[in-house]
Amino acid sequence: MTEHNTVYLAWQAPEARDWHVVGALIEHSDKYVFHYTQGAIRADNFVPFSGMEDLRKSYISRELFPLFQNRLLSHRRPEYPSFLKWLGLSTAEATPANILARSGGTRGTDQLQVFKRVEIDPTGHYKHFFFLHGLGYLSSSAQERVDSLKSGEELALCLDNQNSHDSSAVIVRAKNPAEIIGYCPRYLSKDVRKLLEKPNVLRASIESISADAPKNYRVMCKIEGNAHNLIFDQEDYMFTD
């Protein structure tokens, strides 16, 4: 287990359908810490989670909190090895925080999502992985282009400012031949837009293709580059549905 690994929890408001970052889970070598973020305090109608009712308190546990444990696939399930392969994680890397960050920790019974922020090291370098969104809505020609993708293939990321559903949306486009193949996850759009403001600080590519995986785990993308002096505050913002 890593000494310090942080993932964030986003909550979707049921009526407005906008997403708020409401909490952070910190995975230490010997314990877990959860605290609410400013998004939980500012979001209308947000209700604290059971057993963690105080929005201004840090919660500490030797065991993973049930809120997050219930979002993990049991290692006893026969599909668990395939699941790790789809996520691009080795057994040694498969800590709860890493699994939640890659998988999103989504459940059909609620409106919560787990994600990891873009982390820039002291030298300015960053590397971040995400699954391509929107595969279920592609045209037949775009689906054919997805089927032809190869690991390592270069991608372009483009702003979709005229998107009537999400003005912050970021399109993912394949090259040679060019074809729109999906979108960045909404939680990542703000960071990608900030990176795209500066030339030559972002490279995007296909990390892996898992033809046997569900659509939400089929195409893993990677962004990396050097972005000195850029700071991402993901504890206090919204992203739209």
Q: Which range is least confidently modeled, 7-11, 33-37, 88-92, 195-199?
A: 195-199
Q: What is the pLDDT of residue 233?
A: 56
Sheet holding 125-131, edge to edge: 125-131, 219-226, 203-209, 154-159, 170-174, 179-183
The radius of gyration of the chain from alpha carbons, rounded to an integer in Å, stands at 18
Segment 5-33 shows an average pLDDT of 91
- What is the structure's pLDDT at 66? 96
At 155-170, the pLDDT tens digits run: 999 999 888 888 889 9
Contact 11, 46 (CB under 8 A): yes
Q: What Å distances lie between residue 179 and 88, 143, 219, CA to CA?
A: 25, 10, 15
Could you tell me the pLDDT band of residue 197, with boundaries at 50, 70 and 90? confident
User: Across the chain, what does the average pLDDT equal?
Assistant: 90
Q: What values do phi and psi take at 7, rounded to 5?
A: -125, 160
Q: What is the pLDDT of residue 77?
A: 96
Measured distance CA(187)–CA(172) in Å, rounded: 15
String of DSSP letters for 138-164: --HHHHHHHHT--TT-EEEEEE-TT-S
Is the CB of residue 110 less than 8 Å from the CB of residue 68? no
pLDDT at 202 over 90: yes
Q: Do 22 and 39 contact (CB within 8 A), yes or no?
A: yes
Please tell me which residue, 86 or 232, carries the higher pLDDT value.
86
Looking at residue 107, what is its pLDDT? 84
Question: Cβ atoms within 10 A of the Cβ of 119, count?
Answer: 12
Question: Which pLDDT score is estimated for 230?
Answer: 67
CA–CA dist 87, 129 (Å, integer): 9
Question: Is the C-alpha dihedral spanning 49, 37, 240, 88 positive or negative?
Answer: negative
For residues 65 and 59, the answer to whether their CB atoms sit within 8 Å is yes
Which candidate, 152, 153, 233, 157, places its Cα nearest to that of 201?
Answer: 157
Q: What is the pLDDT of residue 231?
A: 62
